[in-house]
A and B are shown apart, each in its own frame.
Chain A
Amino acid sequence: MRIRSALAVAAIVTLAAACGGGGGGGETPSGDGQPVKLDFLSLAWQKESVAANKEIVAEWNKSHPDIQVTYVQGSWDNVNDQLVTQFAGGTAPDVIHNDSPALAGFASDGYLLDLTAKLPAELKSDIPQAAWDTVTFMGGEGEQGVYGVPFLQESQVIIANKKLLDASGVRVPTPDNPWTWDEFSEAAKKMTKDGTYGVAWAMKSPVNRTLNLALNFGGTFFQTGADGNTTVKVGPEEREVLQRIHDQLYKDKSADPAALGQGTADPLPAFFQGKFAMLPTGVYLRQQVTEQAPDGFEWVTLPAPKGVTAEQGAVSQTLSIAQDSEHPDQAMQFIAYFLNAENQAKLAKGDWLLPTSQKAESDPAITTKENGWDVATASAKNLVVAPFLKVNGYDEWRSKVATPVLQEYYANKISLDDAAKRLVEEGNQVLERYHR
């Protein structure tokens, strides 16, 4: 009997330990004379970018002996799963690299620190309001706040095989005078001949791409009702880009069907072999093109086509501070240093993305004609806040509903009407869970 009660006590202790496991953790506050220690989770992955990140951290550690930063390498593939676990376990890093779509969720979970009051004036004024809008979300208590510092932005461009482009005789678009979608489709048709396709859409992860492009025709995909609850909408504006890409694939047959299931960088070998002429993609892919292109392969960067507008949805890479960080002020100091104009130019160059810093934008390194930097940097002016950034539950909608539906639609397995119906109906079921 006594032993049985002892066992019961053990079980209860176990349960209590398991239940109470959520809190606590973290390092003990540093005493006098001890340097403050910060963990910085970085998601840099391109070689030059990792080098730039580590270099800046090393410079900081050298000039700030009292605040020592440890570089922690993360990966875009699983960073959000990792953060959910680390936040719940109380072991999250102090400074967190992520992107704006992920911040909305973590901000409303209450895991991220609202930076509004902490931002140094210089940093705040160097980054335009449009970029700050991409990181402004509702926090855990339902208040608006700034939950990260945006520093790198991605825009869409078209990377083209110069030889095939010139041979087709189409007008070469410029940032001031881009192709319209009609011209783009026409050009793709002209370049399609002798087993060469005009264009290739790598649509393994089709949702963000599609939604960002849909803004060309004013397609927002989400609407917020009077009750403050968001629902999915797929009207004529949203259908434009869907239909046009589908037409290129199945009506004009000017798009390479083999690329459809591939990830962003996967079509490159076929691109170098001249199997297709144009690859619509993010600006950062230029890095891999320069690095991997065979000798003598000539390529150019073209601005993305324009619909009613040339607007594209902007997604920023961000640095945030964990709510449970014990040294938020020091973390902010580090971020301000890490993202000053000079360092932003370095990071942008390393990742082949666009800096948010207005001072960095004029850095000659990223306005040169070489490797299409001029076109890439010019596209920054078309970036607006992607509407889906503010949608609570977007991530679940994307992976449960939109990804399979769009993949099936682009694979010509379902019609546009079916796709629209499922995006809305199944989508609203998902979003319902997130209504307040």
Chain B
Amino acid sequence: MTATVTQPAPRASRRETSRQRREMWLLMLPAMVPVLLFSVGPLLYGIGLAFTDARNTRVHQTSFVGLENFTRMLADEQFWSSFQIGAIWSVTVTALQFLAALGLALLLNMNLRFRSVARVLAVVPWAMPPVVIGLMWKLVYHPDAGILNDLLGTDVNWLADFSLALPAIIVVGVWTGMPQTTVVLLAGLQNVPKELYEAVEVDGAGRWRRFWNITLPQLRPVIVAITSLDFVWNFNQFGLVYVLTQGGPGGRTRLPMLFAYEEAFRYRAAGYASMLGLAMAIVVLAVLGLYLWRQMREAR
């Protein structure tokens, strides 16, 4: 008897939830269409291209070639050396960005005079597009008219020197990415409950201990989020390096994105370039996944 009473109830609620779900989809549709149209579509198209011999030419018949691009990529030393440069670039820039931004954020979080002005100034580079930043720094590094050689009294062609070019663009990369990292860290700092500091102050903890035992652990989720985002952004950096060095001298600053761009738009190998893009996306996701997973596990 109880069964006959209770049975209709779940059916009704299931109908209810399915209707709710349908409504949810309908409401999401306007937001989904651009995502599908401009992100998912091209992404799938790119993945598809990676398994063809597509070329940016008028006379070429594109055909499916399976894993040919993949095996070619594995044997492409030039690509892997560019990948190595990309790894050095993104790890160094992310790490330095984080350290510099943390310092700046701590400074801006203190009770300084003109604090609000300083905060605004710190965000200024954020407002500039990478190409403008590139052009500006090109002038800074200019061998004859550059302000850097003027200040140091040297005569160095920073962006054309085999061993200095990469460090030179890393400095620019750090400078470019500092504002958003600083802002996020600053927001994180302001969310640290004051009571915690008061509590350790009662215990007589010094400045360093306060930072190490309160600030850093409290900031941890913010740090994890911003460094992983920074890593992705830096790995995918293109405009800045394209303007500064175009990958030179002798390929010493040819980041993998630049390499793929050249494959597609200079040598017309669209299919192969798609495979390179796909490989980069997978590597970034893997590195990121590993990092986030470890952080989560430690946090628990």
Contacts and interface: CB of A to CB of B under 8 A. Distances in A.
Given A7-B32, A11-B44, A14-B41, A404 B250 contact: yes
Given A14-B41, A261-B160, A404-B250, A81 B58 contact: no
A109 interface: yes
Contacts of A17: 41
Interface in B98-148: 143-144
Interface in B15-65: 22, 25-26, 29, 32-33, 36-37, 40-42, 44-45, 55-60
B80 interface: no
Nearest to A205: B248
B198 interface: no
Contact of A10 (B36, B144, B161): B36
Interface string A63-99: 0000000000000000011001101100000000000
Given A262-B143, A408-B162, A400 B56 contact: no
B37 A14 contact: yes
A413 B163 CA distance: 12
A401 B26 CA distance: 55
Contacts of A266: 143-144
A306 B23 CA distance: 82
B266 A395 contact: yes
Contact of B160 (A110, A262, A399, A404): A262
Contacts of A396: 266-267
A58 interface: no
B268 interface: yes
Contacts of A258: 155
A411 B59 contact: no
B95 to A, nearest CB: 28
A15 B250 contact: no
A407 B267 CA distance: 22
A3 interface: yes
A111 B24 CA distance: 49
Contacts of B45: 15, 18-19
Interface in A113-148: 140-141
B250 A14 contact: no
A323 interface: yes
Across the A-B interface, give the 4 residue pairs with the lowest CB-CB distance, nearest first.
A404-B250, A14-B41, A140-B59, A109-B57
A111 B41 CA distance: 27
A15 B42 CA distance: 7
Given A3-B22, A204-B160, A269-B144, A140 B42 contact: no
Given A15-B41, A18-B42, A403-B250, A413 B162 contact: yes
B58 A140 contact: yes
B249 A261 contact: yes
A84 B250 contact: no
A170 B155 CA distance: 31
Contact of B162 (A108, A395, A405, A411): A411
Interface in B260-300: 262, 265-268
Given A11-B41, A266-B143, A408-B250, A261 B157 contact: yes
A429 to B, nearest CB: 9
Given A3-B22, A11-B36, A403-B250, A111 B57 contact: yes
Nearest to A85: B265
B268 A399 contact: no
B251 interface: yes
A84 B266 contact: yes
Interface of A: 3, 7, 10-11, 14-15, 17-19, 80-81, 84-85, 87-88, 105, 108-111, 140-141, 204, 258, 261-262, 266, 269, 323, 395-396, 399-400, 403-405, 407-408, 411, 413
By size class, the interface of chain B is: 35 or more
B249 A407 contact: yes
Nearest to A268: B144
Given A3-B22, A411-B162, A88 B56 contact: yes
Contacts of A7: 32, 36
A103 B78 CA distance: 26
A262 B157 contact: yes
A203 to B, nearest CB: 10
Given A14-B41, A396-B267, A110 B57 contact: yes
Given A15-B41, A395-B267, 5 more contacts: A11-B40, A11-B44, A110-B58, A261-B161, A396-B267
A3 B24 CA distance: 11
Nearest to A324: B58
A84 B60 CA distance: 14
Contact of A80 (B44, B57, B266): B266
A411 B252 CA distance: 14
Contacts of A84: 56, 265-266, 268
17 contacts: A10-B36, A11-B40, A11-B41, A14-B36, A18-B42, A81-B265, A84-B268, A109-B59, A110-B58, A141-B59, A204-B160, A261-B157, A403-B248, A405-B250, A408-B162, A408-B250, A411-B162
B177 to A, nearest CB: 25
B216 to A, nearest CB: 44
Contact of B251 (A105, A108, A404): A404
B275 to A, nearest CB: 14
A213 B225 CA distance: 55
A108 B60 CA distance: 10
A17 B157 CA distance: 47
A108 B265 CA distance: 15
Contacts of A204: 160, 248-249
A109 B40 contact: no
B114 to A, nearest CB: 41
Interface in B136-175: 143-144, 155, 157, 160-162
Given A10-B36, A11-B36, A3 B58 contact: no
Contacts of B29: 3
A104 to B, nearest CB: 13
Nearest to B46: A18
Contacts of B59: 108-110, 140-141
Contacts of A108: 57, 59
Nearest to A139: B59
Nearest to A6: B29
B14 to A, nearest CB: 15
A418 to B, nearest CB: 14
